[in-house]
Structures are given as C-alpha cells and as structure tokens.
Chain A
Amino acid sequence: MRSIHSLVKFVAIFSSAFLLSCAEMRGVQVGGYDLTPLADAGDKLAKGTAETPVQEEEAIGRHMAGTLLGASKLSTVQQQQRYVNRVGRLLTLSTPRPQLDWHFGVLADDDVNAFAAPGGYVFVTSGLLNMLDNEAQLAGVLSHEIAHVTHKDYINAMRSNNLLGAALDVGAFVGGAATNGQTSAQQREFAQSVVNASREVYARGLDKSDEYAADKAALETMTKAGYDPYAYVVVMQKLEARAAKDSAMALLLQTHPSPTDRLEAMGASLDTMNIPGNLLTLDKRFAQSAR
C-alpha cells in the first residue's frame, strides 16, 4: 500500500509540474505493467486539489456556448445585444470575478429561459426578455446566470458527473500550449468532449441547490449594483403565473425548482439582506433599449 501511495504521490507531483506527462504515460508498458491506470490516478489526485485554471474554464465555456448556439441562434437585433451586454457587464463589476472575459447574448427563441457557460458566457432568450418591464428585472435574470459562472456550477457539474473525463487534461494542455493556428488532434478531442458534456448538462440542468444559491446571489449582486431586488421577485412571480400551462416554459421547469419554491427561498434571503431605500428599476432606459 505504502509503495503504491508514494508512487501515486510521485505521479501526482510529476503530473502537476508537467501536465502532459500523465497523458504521455497512458498506454506505456514498463516491465509488463500498463502505466495507464496509474497515470489516471495521478491525474485525479492532481486535479482534485487544483482549481480549474481560468484559461481552461474559458476554453470549456467557449465550446459550451457554441453548443448552446448550435441549438438556438443569436437575435440579430444589435441594440438589444449591446444593451444586455452593458447591463450584464456592469453587474459583473459587483461580483468577485469582474476580470473574466464576459460575453452576453440574446437568443432568438420564444421559449422562456436563460443559460450560462463557464468563463463568463450568459444568455437570455428573447421570449424571457419580452416578458420583462424594466432594467432591474433584467439585472435579476442576468445576475442569476452570472452567479452560475462565478460559482463555477457548470464546471462542477461536469466534473462531479465525470462528463469531461480526460478532456480536462487535454484542455490544460491546449490552454497552456502556444498554437500555430492548426487544430490539433488534442484540441478536437477536447472540443468534442466538452460538446458532449454540454449537451448533457444543459439538457438535465444543474442541482437544485445551485439554482437556489444563484437566486440568492442574484438578489445580492443586483442590490449591490443599485437595482431594486424586488424586481427579481416580480420576474419569478411572472414565471410562476405562466408556469402552469405554457409550453414555452417547459425546459425551464424541467431544469429548475418550481418558481413557487424559489419565491419562498428568495423571501427568506431578502429577509436577511440590508436593502437601502434608493434602489432603481430604470423602466425608461429598458423601454428604449431592450426591444
């Protein structure tokens, strides 16, 4: 046992210093022993203790965003896209991760939904955007998705369900290596793994606890940014009212706790928050910019 432990430890140290090394060890035979399982174990050890590097998070996010955009195209209304990016980017400045390369997008889809992807990608459908009355409501929706990014919920869902497998190692390689404009076999393998994982995670959604945490964070972020957090309560009430029989709500309801349960949790969160009196909803700017 001891010798295996120290060997695994050695591999872990070795692999964290040279991320390629474990990948290279796969399939290697030494004295009749296949080193592949050892390489895997070393990788898991190394990865278990390390955060996913930002570079890798962004690479995963870009492929994940691309997968979503394969299912639903961007709205061609430029004013809408600029406006949502301005509101979204402003909100990120009140989060712990303002330095990410944030991208926001409006999906041309009548369904009511919003999505995020690692590294700073946030999407809202035009179906949801059209339900809203003011900038504070939009800020609530965007802040919820921003929280999924800052909490690394999608990365964690992929990891905990082991959906990425070796792609994380390959991703580290791709992210760390200078590329010459060519798509390497590793990059293609990485992309395909992320696309497969993205399909799975988007279709089944995140953990309910992640959704409740994102609602709580959304209320806090928008309040910090100067928006009236009760506007997000209105959004959830609108969703609750539409939920019963509207097919445009189907996927959102399949992948989230019920709006009624979320409203109850949001009420509890708001009770613990210190909410100043001078918060804004910005109805006029929304009316001028969001359509």
Chain B
Amino acid sequence: MKPVNSTPMLLGGLLLSTALFAYADPGQTTIATDLKSSPDANASTVSQLPAGQAVQIGTRQGAWYQVKTSQGEGWVRMLNVRLQSGTASGGESTLSGLAALGKATRSSTTVATGVRGLNRKDLQTAQEDPAEVAKLDQYRVSADEARQFGQAGGLPAPRR
C-alpha cells in the first residue's frame, strides 16, 4: 500500500494529467463527415467537416471521438478519423479520470523490455525452447478462475 499522504499528490496528478491530455491527440478526417453535437447519429450537426480536416481528439464514447476543430467542437465517427503518426493514444487517455491516472502513473515513455527486432530471420532460424514453453504452464488460468475474474470486473457471465 502507498502511504496515505500520497493521496493529495495522486489527485493533483490526476487533475493535471486530465487537463494535459484533454484533446491531446491530433488526427484528421479520412472522408467528409458530420461534426455532431453529441455521440449520436441523430444529434444535431454542428458543421460538415471535409476530408483531411485536422482534429484534436479528446475522449471516446462508443463509436465516437469528441474533437476540437477549426469548425467547432463536437463528436465525429471514430472510423472517419485517422490518428496522426507519432502520437496514437487514440482518445482513450482521457476516457475517464482513472484512465488518465493510469496513464500518468505509468509514464508516457515506453519502457524497453527486451530485444528489439523479432524479424523474419529470427523466426526462420529459431531453435525450439521447451523449457520456455514449460514456464507457460504455471501461468495457466482455469475456467472458474477466469469467470471470477470477469465477475470482479463487472463483466457478464460468459456464454458461448
């Protein structure tokens, strides 16, 4: 457990990161698409965005991204938007305060965890490693444990 006195710092970080990450992801429309006042096809249209319109992506709700554009603010169908390369957090970072907290605590940099470059040649020359496969067995999860895990997350009971 973290010391109790870290809570104000965490909350501060939460607010700060939410502010920083709001509309943090640049993207552009791939086709002409309506900017809607809410994430709903039947909502009123704020404006009609052309293909290639620059947008700043905020949160996501279902199939919709909340965006800021030079044509105003509103919601666009996410499938009509392309994320700009080099950013790619896809609006998920501001999905909720807790998401932003998670994002903030695990830092924006990718931790180097292993060898870069699992390429074709590595695979074409790979030697079987049975000891490494055996390690997989210890991590296995039973169907019952998986069901409990789903329930704990608020997911429905699995059905085939």
Binding site for B on A (CB under 8 A): 62-63, 65-75, 78, 81-82, 85-90, 92-96, 98, 101-105, 107-111, 113, 121, 125-127, 130-131, 133-135, 137, 191, 195, 198-200, 202-203, 224-228, 230-231, 233-235, 237-238, 240-245, 247-248, 250-251, 254, 263, 266-267, 270, 275, 277, 280-288, 291
Contact = CB atoms under 8 A, between A and B. Distances in A.
Interface of B: 60, 62-63, 78-79, 81-93, 95-96, 98-99, 101-103, 105-106, 110-120, 122-130, 132-133, 135-137, 139-143, 145-147, 149-150, 153-156, 158-160
25 contacts: A72-B115, A73-B114, A73-B132, A74-B132, A74-B135, A74-B136, A85-B141, A98-B160, A102-B141, A110-B115, A126-B113, A127-B113, A127-B114, A133-B92, A200-B124, A230-B60, A230-B63, A234-B92, A237-B88, A237-B90, A240-B82, A250-B119, A270-B63, A287-B98, A287-B99
B83 A237 contact: yes
B109 to A, nearest CB: 9
B133 A66 contact: yes
Contact of A195 (B103, B110, B112, B128): B128
Contact of B79 (A130, A241, A263): A263
A284 B99 contact: yes
B153 A285 contact: yes
B144 to A, nearest CB: 10
Q: Which of B87, B93, B114, B153 has the most CB of A within 10 A?
A: B114
Given A68-B126, A69-B133, A93 B158 contact: yes
3 nearest A-B pairs in the assembled complex, by CB-CB distance: A287-B102, A108-B114, A93-B158
B110 A110 contact: yes
Nearest to B26: A241
Nearest to A278: B156
Nearest to B117: A111
Dominant secondary structure at the A interface: helix
Contacts of A280: 153-155
B113 A75 contact: yes
Contacts of A245: 85
A263 B27 CA distance: 15
Nearest to B102: A287
B137 A133 contact: no
Contacts of B87: 241
B145 A89 contact: yes
A98 B145 CA distance: 13
B83 A240 contact: yes
A266 B158 CA distance: 23
Contacts of B99: 133-134, 281, 283-284, 287
B13 to A, nearest CB: 13
A49 B98 CA distance: 53
B82 A241 contact: yes
Given A66-B132, A69-B133, 11 more contacts: A66-B130, A72-B114, A86-B149, A102-B140, A110-B113, A131-B110, A133-B102, A225-B158, A237-B88, A238-B83, A287-B99
A113 B118 contact: yes
A207 B122 CA distance: 21
